[in-house]
């Protein structure tokens, strides 16, 4: 067996209603004045007020920062940190999707130490500690509540990651009640993102390990079982709980066995056209799977047995069944299937391929080597979905 290292959060609370019991965690962590980081959309639909009221009722009034933008820019991080610094907070809570959680993670570091934001990017660049941190996801997607990563938008078309075990929160709180109102399109996009995390962790070339494998398999089972119901019947509590746990397990898997070419080719689409992260993954997923087939077929065949129970045939046939199942699923949850349908200009494909090649940090994890010409072929296939 290959030696491996596995990091995750010290505590995971998975219980309906647990977002209304954050005071317990605050007390345990010695937090008396938390900063609550969220986005304006969640405030508008009334998701945040009960959490604030519950903290208030326990004598722990939170300072609210509710200005997180999707794909958060550095200015959002700095603004949240300024609010927290001004108020003298002693802990950070996020209630929201990957965008709010990623902002909270970096803010906890900025307020807990003296490093400037610019010095945090990259792997293991965080030197000091951080404020106590509790992350409460409201999307079933990024798994950010259990990953050591925060993704920040640094320029017009570029994002940068802060990657450090310091970013793992003290507590991750999975309360599926918060996800009941997640709109169908967001449910579909974030759900496919989570499925990609599971698939790419399972085939991750360098750090794949027995723990990440088991998490990825169970994540894919939960997500594959529940995604259609979660999209089409948002009030289905069992489906929502399955999705939230599935996304979290996929997050634990890829936090330790990193994602690869799907994410590498997805990032330029987010950067140039502001297509949501989950959809960018969905758009290139079937074509990357088809490209990887020569090297990944045996692992894809194993995953097919999870997504297509009773699938039969040899390795090639079962692996092909996985790609077919993914295409069917993308169709069922009503996401656009091609780059053309998503409005990506065909003449941009060579530029996108060059951009994707900059993601070597991710491409090294891919089961098959991706050269520039391959990236272009994958985008061409995804443009017309003919792979
Ligand atoms: N840290 C990581 O490990 C990691 C991994 C993957 C992606 N990301 C990052 O995460 C971000 C994407 O996060 P996301 O996909 O969770 O979306 P998000 O946080 O950007 O939210 C998307 C939209 O959904 C809405 N929303 C969220 N929860 C809702 C709910 N319960 N009900 C109704 N509306 C709701 C929000 O208001 C927002 O408008 C990107 O910036 C991406 O780069 C981070
Ligand atoms: Fe992702």
For 244-264, the pLDDT digits (tens) are: 999 999 999 999 999 999 999
Cβ(117)–Cβ(106) under 8 Å? yes
Q: How far apart are CA 199 and CA 331, in angstroms?
A: 18
Determine if ligand 1 sits within 6 Å of the CB of residue 39: yes
Ligand minimally distant from the alpha carbon of residue 97? 1
Determine if ligand 1 sits within 6 Å of the CB of residue 151: yes
The rounded Å distance from CA 141 to ligand 1 centre is 7
Ordered alpha helix ranges (H), 58-142: 74-87, 98-112
Ligand 1: which of 76, 105, 135, 142 to mutate, most ligand atoms within 8 Å of CB?
A: 142
Indicate the helix (H) or strand (E) that contains 41.
Answer: helix 40-44
Instruction: Output the pLDDT for position 128.
Output: 87
Ligand minimally distant from the alpha carbon of residue 101? 1
Query: Closest ligand 1 atom, CA of 147?
Result: 3
Instruction: Output the pLDDT for position 196.
Output: 98
Instruction: Output the pLDDT for position 10.
Output: 98
Q: In 142-176, which positions are buried (b, 16+ CB within 10 angstroms) versus exposed (e)? A: bbbbbbbbbbbbeeeeebbbbbbebbbbbbbbbbb
Q: Which residues pair with 151 in a beta bridge?
A: 161
Q: How far apart are CA 65 and CA 60, in angstroms?
A: 16
- Comparing CA positions, the residue from 1, 39, 351 lying closest to residue 209 is 1
The rounded Å distance from CA 240 to ligand 1 centre is 16
Ligand 1: which of 8, 69, 97, 241 to mutate, most ligand atoms within 8 Å of CB?
A: 97
The rounded Å distance from CA 99 to ligand 1 centre is 5
The alpha carbon of residue 34 and the mean position of all alpha carbons in its chain are separated, in whole angstroms, by: 24
- Sequence-distant (6+) residues with CB within 8 A of 46 are none
- The DSSP code sequence of 189-221 is HHHHHHHHHHHHHHT-TTT--HHHHHHHHHHHH
Determine if ligand 1 sits within 6 Å of the CB of residue 236: no
Instruction: Output the pLDDT for position 385.
Output: 60
Cβ(268)–Cβ(19) under 8 Å? no
The rounded Å distance from CA 139 to ligand 1 centre is 6
- The DSSP code sequence of 50-80 is HHHHHHHHTT-PPEEE--PPSS-BHHHHHHH
Cβ(75)–Cβ(88) under 8 Å? no
Within the chain, which residues score under 50 in pLDDT?
387
Instruction: Output the pLDDT for position 387.
Output: 43
Q: In 327-349, which positions are buried (b, 16+ CB within 10 angstroms) versus exposed (e)? A: bebbeebebbbbbeebebeeebb
Ligand 1: which of 74, 277, 280 to mutate, most ligand atoms within 8 Å of CB?
A: 277
Considering the entire predicted model, what is its pTM?
Answer: 0.97
Cβ(343)–Cβ(273) under 8 Å? yes
Instruction: Output the pLDDT for position 158.
Output: 79
């Amino acid at each position: 067996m290959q030696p491996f290292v596995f990091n995750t959060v010290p505590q995971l609370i998975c219980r309906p209603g647990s977002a209304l019991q954050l005071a317990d965690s605050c007390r345990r962590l010695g937090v008396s004045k938390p900063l609550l980081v969220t986005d304006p959309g969640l405030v508008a639909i009334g998701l945040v007020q009960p959490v604030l009221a519950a903290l208030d009722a326990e004598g722990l009034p939170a300072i609210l920062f509710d200005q997180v933008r999707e794909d958060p820019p550095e200015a959002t991080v700095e603004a949240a940190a300024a609010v927290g610094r001004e108020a003298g907070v002693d802990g950070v809570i996020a209630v929201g999707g990957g965008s709010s959680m990623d902002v909270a993670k970096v803010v906890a570091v900025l307020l807990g130490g003296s490093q400037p934001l610019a010095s945090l990017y990259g792997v293991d660049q965080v030197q000091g500690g951080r404020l106590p941190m509790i992350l409460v996801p409201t999307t079933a997607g990024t798994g950010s509540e259990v990953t050591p990563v925060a993704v920040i938008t640094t320029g017009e078309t570029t994002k940068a990651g802060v990657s450090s075990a310091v970013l793992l929160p003290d507590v991750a709180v999975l309360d599926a009640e918060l996800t009941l109102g997640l709109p169908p399109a967001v449910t579909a996009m974030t759900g496919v993102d989570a499925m990609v995390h599971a698939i790419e962790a399972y085939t991750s070339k360098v750090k794949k390990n027995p723990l990440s494998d088991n998490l990825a398999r169970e994540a894919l089972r939960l997500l594959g079982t529940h995604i259609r119901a979660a999209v089409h019947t948002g009030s289905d509590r069992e489906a929502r709980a399955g999705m939230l746990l599935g996304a979290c397990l996929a997050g634990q898997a890829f936090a330790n066995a990193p994602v690869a070419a799907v994410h590498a080719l997805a990032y330029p689409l987010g950067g140039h056209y502001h297509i949501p992260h989950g959809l960018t993954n969905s758009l290139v997923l079937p074509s990357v799977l088809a490209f990887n087939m020569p090297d990944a077929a045996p692992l894809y065949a194993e995953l097919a047995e999870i997504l297509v129970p009773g699938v039969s045939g040899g390795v090639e046939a079962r692996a092909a069944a996985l790609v077919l199942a993914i295409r069917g699923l993308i169709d069922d949850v009503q996401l656009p299937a091609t780059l053309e349908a998503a409005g990506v200009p065909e003449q941009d494909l060579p530029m996108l391929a060059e951009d994707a090649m900059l993601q070597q940090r991710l491409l090294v994890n891919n089961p098959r080597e991706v050269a520039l010409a391959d990236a272009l072929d994958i985008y061409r296939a995804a443009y017309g979905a003919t792979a």
